[in-house]
Structure formats: structure tokens, C-alpha cells
Homo-oligomer: A and B are copies of this chain.
């Protein structure tokens, strides 16, 4: 150690300079959250920092980095934090501009939940025993299990937690104890006296972007507390594929990703405990949902094969692991359970969506769409269900969009363009001065630009000259000024560039291709869909009309589109409360057919059609064609 440091300005954070590490890694060491969407591949350009001194201690920019930064960037000392690596141990001062910092995200923690009859996997039973005497010297476990068998009319086993707590509990409770049973079969804990009303569990939705945890009173069914956080794996890659890539490039990648998500969950559990006053030691079970990659990473199951054809998951079946063995900070002999997966890219979260939507018991054909970095779609009814996963990409999370950002303070989330005057009105998260555009904002913006003639069916910017909002950008291609610099937080114009529109076209085309393929599998037309259950993983509800206008959702009357929020979280809560829901999920995960889109012969042509606004086949979007949207 030379005593040299890397200083992150203007945040006043520093960390020892360490040869071989990148600035992004050092920023993480210093507790500075820098954006990175591409998993440190040097591609997304989100992790720009400006080197104020000590540039000579860093590796020089490579050709790819220089190209991405542009001449001006290189001249001003800008670097990609993920590419600049310490080569000499000397002091370095790096400025982290506002736009490179990860902000406070709005997280959609809500979600509809269908009424669930309470039948948790964890149950409690009061057991009263004859005391041990010299005339009845049976072992504690024999004495206890015999009485429990009589009460429960079925035989049980005991796990380590029960063995450890039994002898003390029997004597402290004067031979009256409360047994905690998992699925009525395995005694995991014995407490002195009657604690039957003290029964808690935690439901967790591990999204690629956010993690939400709910503390549930399993005696009443009530949600006692909710806590959420950005997925702490984000620094290792913002989307599923970059995280899988991270594990293939680092021998300990799986363990590191498991560790950060476990640490994250443990901090959520600690916050739930603090805010509710329920000791985490009294939490008996955690039920987890997430997409297949998040699920595997959490449970320590290798993910590398998920990225290789034919993308088979390692594990479909519902899991039950011991909390202590997993390192989840609840009662150590409690359980950590998961819902089952369907396929490599249709995971336990989609099964939770399905369970909470109720689609699986509808008579009429409906569809569940859960939009995220991967969009899962399940279509069908009580008789048949088909599913697919669409690589819709992180554009809705703000990646690849010049002014894209998550749904945090200052993000444009709604857009209205007056077709006559061309005037633009926007609404932002927290009503702050605009800083950028989040997912629902960009969908709105493109829909409004299309309806007002700024953008043609091919997605090309063709009009709007009269308003002065359409111009050639620095790179020589057209862009549309959504908010003038005088009204924004940074003073720069917030624009929608031709490239941004193409990114959204790619994303919505991916989604609608999935919709079309599933429709054909079921032999129905979009208009026949009686219900669309719209779940979202990003921060704000997308406007249904806008989503139909750009051809992302099928063209059905708005009243058939039902927003169900974070449906994966709702499904996790339902599963925590009811083993019948879990058994249902296990059945459904086997029943749901999986369609690999890339293997479908019409995939390319459907995708090409869906690149248009709303679609080259206008007969599929009659309301848009008729101008009634």
C-alpha cells in the first residue's frame, strides 16, 4: 500500500488506490453508486466520470472507449469508469457528474392480490404433555411426538431446531409447549407456553431491477410492513444477460452475485423487523419469486447454461431450503421457499403473475403481460396456457435512450402533444424539473409524436418543422425537443432522437411478436382477448392508450386492460399465505407450455411487421387505424 487514494468528487468519498481495479470497482468500494447498464462492458456509456487529476495513473482509453466518448469527451478528461483501470498507485481525483449517479428510484411495491384462504406452510400447535418422572422416563422427543401425533393424527419428524429447543421449552413451559410445523410434517421449533398467535413470514419479489419484501402476519393474513430496494446486483450488470455474462467471466461470479442479493434481502428483513417490531428470529419462512436467472442466482444454482441454447433452466421444481444453510437472517431452522419456474426465461415471477392474475381459471381467453427488461407473456384460459419471454431490453428502464432514466425524481412520465399547435405538456416524477425520460414517458412521447404527425408509421421523424422542435442533432440525425433547456434541471434540452425511437420500436416489436405468436398458438385474434392483465416491473404505469397506439399492447377496448401492478409480489404473498396456492403454482408450472420465440418460423416476419407504428398489418389495430385512440 502506498497510501495513495482515489477521491470521488463532489461526494467527498475516497478509497485506497489499488492497482488493477477499475474506477467503477473502486467507486463501489467507496460506496459511490455509479450507473452502469452494460455490466462493465464499456458499451452503455452511462458510467462517465471526469478525471480532475492523476489521469496518468490510469490505463489510457482504448479505441472503443474513445469512439464512445468522442473527441470532445477525451479532451475534457472524460473516462468510462468501467474501463479506466489503475496502473500506477497514485492519487486520482474523479468527478462523478450528476447524470452518472444512480438516483432514488420510484419502486412499484403495490400489486393486486386476490383473496386467499389462510393456509400457510408454517403452522403452530399447542401441545400439553405429562411431565417426565422416574415412573415415566421417556425421552423428550418420544414423549412430545407421541402427543403431537395424537393431536395432528399424522406422524411428524423433528429438525435440528426442534431438537435444540425442545428440552428447555418443555421445562420452561411446565410441559406445555407450542410446536411450529412445516407443512404439518416437520417440527422446526418448540417454544414454551402458548405462542400460537405469533406466526410471521416474508414474501419477496426479486426483480432484475428492484427487490420488494413484505412482512406478513400469517395468523391474520395482514401485510404488516413493506420494504424495497434496487437490486444490489445492478452494479454487476443491469440486465439478466449481463449478470449471466459476469458469472461466466468470473470464477466466483455466482457466489458474489448470490452474496450481494442475500445481503440485500437480509437488510430488507432487518428493516421490516425494525419498522414492525417483529423480531426477525420470529420470521419462520421466506417465499421468493423472481425470473429464472434471479431465482437461480439467489439459491446458488449456476446460471451460465441459461444463456446457451436451448436455454433450459437447471431447476423448475419449487424449492425449500433451510434458512440457516442459505444464510437468510430469519429463524435459522426456518425455511426459504420458491415458486417453480417454467423455462429459462419464464420464471417463478411469471408463475406468481399467473397465480395472482387469476388468468388460469378464466373461461374466456385472456393474456398476462409483465413488462420488464425481459417481458413475460402468458395467454390462454383454464384449459390451456402458453407462455413466452420477449427480450424487450432495458429501454423502458432508461438504457440506450439518450435522455433515458429510471422513474426517479425529474423523470418525464407522461407526455401530451397538442396536434394543432404542436405544444408539449409533460408530467414528471415528484413534479420536479425534468432531467430525463422514463419508460412510461418515452411510450407516451412516441405515441403522441405519432398521433401528431411528427413521426410516421416507419418510426422516422417526418414532421413538426413548424414548431421548431425537430432539428438535426450533433450527430447529424434528427431529434425532437421534448422540453426546452430553459425548463429543465440541467439547462440542456431533453430530446427524443431518431435512435431512441428505434430502440422503443425494437422493444415493443419484441413484445408484440410474443403476443402474436401466442395468439396464433391459441388460434385466436387479438380482438378476441377478453382481458389483458398488465403487470409492470418498471416504475410507472404505462398509459394503456399510448401502449396500444404504438402497437405494444393488443388493440382491445381500454376497459379490458387491467393493471395489476407488481403482480409477482402479489403472487409471492399469496403463496406465503397458502400451501394450496403453492400446489397450484407447481401444477401450473408443469401445465404452462413454453414457446421459444426464436424457434418459431414466423418470428422474423412478425417482428418486421411489429417494427412499424402500430404495425404494418393495420388490420390488427383497427382503433388506431380509425383514429379513435
Closest residue on chain B to residue A313 by CB atoms:
B139
Closest residue on chain B to residue A595 by CB atoms:
B137
CA distance A271 to B163 in the complex (A): 31
Give the residues in chain B near A137, CB-CB below 8 Å. Answer: 310-312, 343-344, 594, 596
Contact check, A140 vs B322: say whether CB atoms are below 8 A apart: no
A positions within 8 Å CB-CB of B: 132-134, 136-143, 158, 160, 163-164, 166-168, 171, 299-302, 304-305, 309-317, 319, 321-322, 324-325, 341, 343-344, 594, 596, 599
11 A-B interface contacts by CB (under 8 A): A134-B599, A137-B344, A139-B314, A139-B317, A140-B314, A140-B315, A158-B317, A160-B321, A166-B314, A168-B302, A171-B305
Give the residues in chain B near A300, CB-CB below 8 Å. Answer: 160, 164
Shortest CB-to-CB span from A348 to chain B, Å, is 12
Shortest CB-to-CB span from A74 to chain B, Å, is 43
Shortest CB-to-CB span from A251 to chain B, Å, is 13
CA distance A134 to B596 in the complex (A): 8
Closest residue on chain B to residue A139 by CB atoms:
B316
Of the candidates A140, A309, A311, A341, the one having the most CB atoms from chain B within 10 angstroms of its own CB is A140
How many copies the complex holds: the figure is 2
CA distance A325 to B322 in the complex (A): 9
With A166-B314, A314-B139 already in contact, the answer to whether A134 and B302 are too (CB < 8 A) is: no
| Other A-B pairs beyond A141-B316, A164-B302, 10, CB < 8 Å | A134-B310, A137-B594, A137-B596, A139-B341, A141-B315, A160-B325, A163-B314, A166-B314, A168-B302, A324-B325
Contact check, A141 vs B317: say whether CB atoms are below 8 A apart: yes
Give the residues in chain B near A304, CB-CB below 8 Å. Answer: 167
Shortest CB-to-CB span from A400 to chain B, Å, is 28
Residue among B133, B312, B599 making CB contact with A140, cutoff 8 Å: B312
With A167-B302, A302-B168 already in contact, the answer to whether A312 and B139 are too (CB < 8 A) is: yes
Contact check, A309 vs B134: say whether CB atoms are below 8 A apart: yes
Shortest CB-to-CB span from A203 to chain B, Å, is 21
Shortest CB-to-CB span from A246 to chain B, Å, is 17
CA distance A171 to B314 in the complex (A): 11
Contact check, A299 vs B160: say whether CB atoms are below 8 A apart: yes
Shortest CB-to-CB span from A250 to chain B, Å, is 15
CA distance A310 to B139 in the complex (A): 10
The list of the 7 closest CB pairs from A to B, nearest first, reads A139-B316, A167-B314, A132-B312, A139-B313, A134-B310, A140-B314, A137-B310
CA distance A524 to B309 in the complex (A): 76
